[in-house]
Amino acid sequence: MAIPTYEQIMLPLLKIAGDKQEHSKRQATEKLANEFRLTDKERRVMLPSGKEELFDNRVGWAGTYRKKANFMEQTRWGFFKITDRGMGLLKQNPAKIDAKLLYAYKEFKDFITPNQKIIEEEYTPGSPEEMLGTASLHDH
Protein backbone atom coordinates (compact mmCIF):
# COMPACT_ATOMS: atom_id res chain seq x y z
CA MET A 1 0.00 0.00 0.00
CA ALA A 2 1.15 3.52 -0.71
CA ILE A 3 1.73 5.87 2.20
CA PRO A 4 -1.50 7.88 2.57
CA THR A 5 -1.50 11.61 1.93
CA TYR A 6 -2.19 14.03 4.77
CA GLU A 7 -5.69 14.48 3.32
CA GLN A 8 -6.37 10.73 3.45
CA ILE A 9 -5.31 10.82 7.10
CA MET A 10 -7.63 13.69 8.11
CA LEU A 11 -10.92 11.80 8.50
CA PRO A 12 -9.47 8.74 10.29
CA LEU A 13 -7.60 11.10 12.65
CA LEU A 14 -10.78 12.99 13.47
CA LYS A 15 -12.60 9.68 14.01
CA ILE A 16 -9.94 8.67 16.55
CA ALA A 17 -10.69 11.88 18.44
CA GLY A 18 -14.44 11.30 18.08
CA ASP A 19 -14.55 9.55 21.46
CA LYS A 20 -14.08 13.04 23.03
CA GLN A 21 -11.04 11.83 24.98
CA GLU A 22 -7.55 13.30 24.97
CA HIS A 23 -5.17 11.47 22.62
CA SER A 24 -1.43 11.65 22.09
CA LYS A 25 -0.08 12.26 18.61
CA ARG A 26 2.27 9.32 19.08
CA GLN A 27 -0.56 6.87 19.90
CA ALA A 28 -2.75 8.25 17.11
CA THR A 29 0.11 7.85 14.63
CA GLU A 30 0.56 4.20 15.63
CA LYS A 31 -3.17 3.53 15.39
CA LEU A 32 -3.33 5.17 11.96
CA ALA A 33 -0.31 3.22 10.70
CA ASN A 34 -2.08 0.02 11.72
CA GLU A 35 -5.38 1.17 10.19
CA PHE A 36 -3.64 1.94 6.89
CA ARG A 37 -1.75 -1.37 7.19
CA LEU A 38 1.63 0.23 6.65
CA THR A 39 4.63 -2.05 6.66
CA ASP A 40 7.69 -1.32 8.79
CA LYS A 41 9.49 -0.32 5.60
CA GLU A 42 6.73 2.17 4.70
CA ARG A 43 6.82 3.58 8.23
CA ARG A 44 10.57 4.20 7.92
CA VAL A 45 10.41 6.13 4.62
CA MET A 46 12.00 9.50 5.31
CA LEU A 47 11.28 12.97 3.97
CA PRO A 48 13.80 14.17 1.37
CA SER A 49 15.49 16.12 4.19
CA GLY A 50 16.10 12.84 6.05
CA LYS A 51 15.01 14.47 9.31
CA GLU A 52 11.55 12.96 9.81
CA GLU A 53 9.56 9.92 8.75
CA LEU A 54 7.13 10.71 5.92
CA PHE A 55 4.07 9.15 7.55
CA ASP A 56 4.67 10.91 10.89
CA ASN A 57 5.04 14.20 9.02
CA ARG A 58 1.76 13.66 7.18
CA VAL A 59 -0.06 12.83 10.42
CA GLY A 60 1.37 16.03 11.87
CA TRP A 61 0.11 18.14 8.97
CA ALA A 62 -3.31 16.48 9.06
CA GLY A 63 -3.51 17.46 12.73
CA THR A 64 -2.27 21.00 12.12
CA TYR A 65 -4.82 21.59 9.38
CA ARG A 66 -7.58 20.17 11.60
CA LYS A 67 -6.57 22.46 14.45
CA LYS A 68 -6.51 25.48 12.13
CA ALA A 69 -10.09 24.67 11.05
CA ASN A 70 -11.01 24.31 14.74
CA PHE A 71 -11.97 20.62 14.51
CA MET A 72 -9.41 19.65 17.13
CA GLU A 73 -7.55 21.47 19.87
CA GLN A 74 -4.18 20.92 21.45
CA THR A 75 -4.69 20.14 25.13
CA ARG A 76 -0.96 20.09 25.95
CA TRP A 77 2.24 19.43 24.03
CA GLY A 78 1.76 16.33 21.87
CA PHE A 79 -1.90 15.80 22.88
CA PHE A 80 -5.21 16.74 21.30
CA LYS A 81 -8.95 16.28 21.54
CA ILE A 82 -11.94 16.96 19.31
CA THR A 83 -13.90 20.23 19.46
CA ASP A 84 -17.65 20.73 19.16
CA ARG A 85 -17.12 21.77 15.53
CA GLY A 86 -15.23 18.55 14.90
CA MET A 87 -18.02 16.50 16.47
CA GLY A 88 -20.52 18.35 14.29
CA LEU A 89 -18.56 17.44 11.20
CA LEU A 90 -18.33 13.78 12.23
CA LYS A 91 -22.11 13.71 12.72
CA GLN A 92 -22.46 14.77 9.06
CA ASN A 93 -20.61 11.54 8.16
CA PRO A 94 -18.38 13.05 5.43
CA ALA A 95 -16.88 10.68 2.87
CA LYS A 96 -13.57 12.51 3.21
CA ILE A 97 -12.00 15.64 4.64
CA ASP A 98 -9.66 17.54 2.38
CA ALA A 99 -8.19 21.01 2.07
CA LYS A 100 -11.11 22.17 -0.06
CA LEU A 101 -13.54 21.30 2.74
CA LEU A 102 -11.32 22.98 5.34
CA TYR A 103 -11.07 26.10 3.20
CA ALA A 104 -14.78 26.72 3.85
CA TYR A 105 -13.89 27.64 7.44
CA LYS A 106 -12.65 31.17 8.14
CA GLU A 107 -10.00 30.09 10.66
CA PHE A 108 -8.41 27.76 8.13
CA LYS A 109 -8.69 30.30 5.32
CA ASP A 110 -6.95 32.86 7.55
CA PHE A 111 -4.15 30.35 8.19
CA ILE A 112 -3.51 29.66 4.52
CA THR A 113 -1.44 32.30 2.80
CA PRO A 114 -2.48 33.64 -0.60
CA ASN A 115 0.57 31.95 -2.14
CA GLN A 116 -0.60 28.46 -1.20
CA LYS A 117 -2.69 27.05 -4.00
CA ILE A 118 -4.44 24.22 -2.18
CA ILE A 119 -7.74 24.99 -3.86
CA GLU A 120 -6.51 24.42 -7.40
CA GLU A 121 -7.24 21.07 -8.96
CA GLU A 122 -3.60 20.32 -9.76
CA TYR A 123 -2.05 20.82 -6.34
CA THR A 124 0.43 18.35 -4.87
CA PRO A 125 -1.09 16.50 -1.87
CA GLY A 126 2.24 16.38 -0.07
CA SER A 127 3.05 18.20 3.11
CA PRO A 128 4.88 21.55 2.93
CA GLU A 129 8.16 19.82 3.83
CA GLU A 130 7.68 17.31 1.03
CA MET A 131 7.01 20.07 -1.50
CA LEU A 132 10.09 22.01 -0.37
CA GLY A 133 12.24 18.88 -0.51
CA THR A 134 11.03 18.08 -4.01
CA ALA A 135 11.55 21.66 -5.15
CA SER A 136 15.11 21.72 -3.86
CA LEU A 137 15.87 18.45 -5.68
CA HIS A 138 14.66 19.94 -8.97
CA ASP A 139 16.27 23.37 -8.54
CA HIS A 140 19.82 22.12 -9.14
Instruction: Please write the tens of the pLDDT for every residue from 15-55.
Output: 999 999 999 999 999 999 999 999 999 999 999 888 899 99
Q: What is the mean pLDDT of residues 69-97?
A: 96
| C-alpha span between 103 and 12 (Å, rounded) | 19
CA distance to 66, 85, 96, 108, 125, per residue, from 99 (Å)? 10, 16, 10, 9, 9
Bridge partner residues of 79 (DSSP): 24, 76
Residue 12 lies in a domain: yes
Q: What is the pLDDT of residues 102-120, one digit of tens each?
A: 988 988 888 886 656 544 4
Give the model's pLDDT for residue 111: 85
Domain of residue 28 covers: 6-138
Residue 1 lies in a domain: no
Residue 56 lies in a domain: yes
Residue 120 lies in a domain: yes
Count of domains forming the chain: 1
- 55 C-beta neighbours (distance < 10 Å), count: 21
Asked whether the predicted pLDDT for residue 137 surpasses 50, the reply is: no
